[in-house]
Chains A and B, each alone.
Chain A
Amino acid sequence: MGGLKDSLRDAIRQLAFRTSLDRLRKQGVKQVNVLGLDRIIALIDAAVHTSLKSRLVGADREVVADATKAEFLRLLRSNEDLQREKSEIEKLRERTQEELDALRRELAQQQSALRVRLERDDPGAAARWQGEDAAIARKVAAVVQELAAAGEAPVAAAALEARLAELVMDVVVGERRAGESVRKQLADRDVAMMQQRIEKLSQALAVTEHKLQQVSSQRSLDAGISSIYREVQGLAADDTRAEAKKGIMAAILAENLRLQKRGTD
């Protein structure tokens, strides 16, 4: 009996809904009647026993009472099973949502890194070279000025400076091109890898979003409504047309078996 009382208490708690006093006040409720859990349980218990007492005697009463309690506990257990299944779906949805958020964050990071990389590679080289060119020109000019100071003619010194600068620049430009080509190859590889990564992340994101959509729709499915039948019924023994109906059922079955057989052949 203790088990039944606990189960009843749990069931009532589960079926009840919570509300606040403010909300009740808004609805115009000023007073409420309070009925304790123990009182409800006692009332149900008394109602069942009174009803059984008026209809059954002795051992029958006990058997029916026990069967009813067992059935009630079974229904509660089956509801618990469904609740568990529902919470598992909910967990799956949460996991998928987290996965989705992580993918979105990573995708955003990768896209931002790619943008930075592309911006850095492009205008940086020209500015850097301009600075280097100016430094080389200054050094060449200094060498020529030292030579001029040592007694060379100014015209020859100017021509020498120009020629020297030209030679140095040829070498430097060649080196730069080679270096730049290597750097560009490396950069291109990095960018291509980043783009591939972004593409994969986008695909994963789409798949996860679809999964989430499916899980969400699954979650919206309710637990269903129990059938009034625990077992397969069949024709009632006291049916006035039982014989005729048996023949009809057999004919329907035969026709359907024929159809199934055709389908599997």
Chain B
Amino acid sequence: MSDSKNLDAKTHGVLYIGMDLGTSRTSVSASNGVRETVFSVVGYPKDVVSQKLLKKDVLYGKEALDKRLSLRMYKPLEKGVLKYTGEAKDPEAKTNLKAAQDLIGEAIRLARPRADELVYCVIGAPAEASVRNREAILEAAKAHVDAVMLCSEPFSVAYGMDMLEDVLVVDIGAGTTDLCRMHGTMPEEADQVMFDVAGDAVDAELARRIEQSCPGAQFTVQMVKEIKERWGFVGDAPEKCLVDLPVDGKPTQFDLTDQVRAACSVLIDPICKGITKLIATFDPEFQARLKNRVLLAGGGSMVRGLDTAIEKAMRERLGGGKVVRIEEPIYGGANGALKIAHDMPAEYWEQLK
């Protein structure tokens, strides 16, 4: 895409892509109306036989998960950032970086760009990703687009909703939860909080509880993730979580209501602590307004009852507060990044080409 011949031919339009590069899922929203999401996993055939059988050099997302027994699997992101970016000489680190590049390429392909259009992309990265990590993401993306920018993930959520003043965004991903307060300008370091209690921590807690309470039940991390996504809730149970798990090869039904509730509840306390910290250090005159404008975003925000549970905890700690879940938790970051890409002036893009 970057050769001169193609650049010369790119006269038919400008495609903006907003990307949320996440530990669990990577989502894209584009200015041609395409919105897609893919699990952030990449698989390479283990040997020539599997390569011939699969007829592909690389598989992504659900397809890779389905064929994982024939593949060397890579999950290039961990806790919201690229793995191993510090030790690039290590062969495993190199392959991981290649997996990240391939994943970003696949996400761009999912946006279905035309060969003759300029592609400008904004990628939402975790608020506290290291400089080395940001460089690695930029490097990975450059191979597939004409110009690329990074921006803080929770910031892009707020920008997408046009809520730039006195808003506190809580973006619950798989690897990290990012909190960011907005006050009309670019957020600084003091405006952001990040911790690693997020979707993966819920999965680990749920797996531990199932192991303890369901003797003989066999399950994988992927199965636990699916249970959480299907049933995840906190507070009063909307329904019983009746799940079939194999015991000695025989599907056996378990009631996991209490386990799911307890596992999902691990999110509440750290989020409330983060909210409290950001509100307590904000201009006192605007604290009341800020705590009444808390936005929940990211895949983790789909846990049912989480907004109410956080409001309840805020009442106890801060004397009140209002939490709103954004309409499209999976695409919130990508939509915001798309809006930033759209609003970025032409001369800025030119400087990054």
Contacts and interface: CB of A to CB of B under 8 A. Distances in A.
Contacts of A120: none
Interface stretch (A153-161, A183-191, A223-231): A223-231
Contacts of A225: 32-34, 112, 114
Interface residues of A, number: 40
Interface string B338-350: 0010111110110
Interface in A207-245: 213, 217, 221-235, 239, 241, 244-245
Interface in A67-101: 74, 78, 81-82, 85
B7 to A, nearest CB: 15
A241 B164 CA distance: 9
Nearest to B340: A252
Contact of B343 (A222, A229, A235): A235
Given A81-B116, A224-B112, A256 B14 contact: no
B150 A244 contact: no
Interface in B123-153: 131, 134-135, 138-139, 149-151
B344 A253 contact: yes
A217 B30 CA distance: 23
A247 B348 CA distance: 12
Given A231-B14, A232-B14, A263-B135, A245 B352 contact: no
A217 B344 CA distance: 34
A53 to B, nearest CB: 29
A248 B164 contact: yes
Nearest to A253: B348
B284 interface: no
Contacts of B186: 247-248, 251-252
A229 B118 CA distance: 10
A232 B344 CA distance: 9
Contacts of B220: none
A262 interface: yes
A252 B14 contact: no
A263 B164 contact: no
B152 to A, nearest CB: 9
Nearest to A217: B56
Contacts of B9: 81
A59 interface: no
A78 B344 contact: no
Contacts of B185: 244, 247-248, 251
B32 A233 contact: no
Interface residues of B, number: 46
Given A227-B30, A227-B31, A233-B343, A262 B131 contact: yes
Contacts of A251: 185-186
Interface in B64-116: 109, 112-116
A259 interface: yes
Contacts of B33: 225, 228
Contact of B12 (A213, A222, A226, A232): A226
Contacts, number: 124
A222 B345 CA distance: 30
A42 interface: no
A260 interface: yes
Contacts of B344: 234, 249, 252-253
B351 interface: yes
Nearest to B118: A232
A74 B139 CA distance: 34
A162 interface: no
Contacts of B150: 255-256, 259
Contact of B351 (A241, A244, A257): A257
Contact of B117 (A226, A233, A244, A263): A226
A262 to B, nearest CB: 6
B113 A260 contact: no
A222 B110 CA distance: 11
Contact of A82 (B13, B112, B115, B184): B115
A213 B58 CA distance: 13
A75 B122 CA distance: 26
A234 B346 contact: yes
Nearest to A216: B55
Contacts of B343: 233-235, 239, 245, 249
A224 B113 CA distance: 5
A51 to B, nearest CB: 23
B32 A226 contact: yes
A244 B13 contact: no
Contacts of B349: 232
A24 B32 CA distance: 34
A245 B345 CA distance: 11
Contacts of A81: 9, 116
Interface of B: 9, 12-16, 30-34, 55-56, 109, 112-118, 120, 131, 134-135, 138-139, 149-151, 159, 162, 164, 184-186, 340, 342-346, 348-349, 351-352
12 contacts: A223-B114, A225-B33, A225-B112, A225-B114, A232-B120, A232-B346, A235-B343, A241-B164, A253-B348, A260-B138, A262-B135, A263-B135
Given A225-B33, A256-B138, 16 more contacts: A85-B115, A213-B55, A225-B34, A229-B13, A234-B346, A247-B185, A248-B159, A249-B340, A251-B186, A253-B149, A256-B149, A257-B351, A257-B352, A259-B138, A262-B131, A263-B139
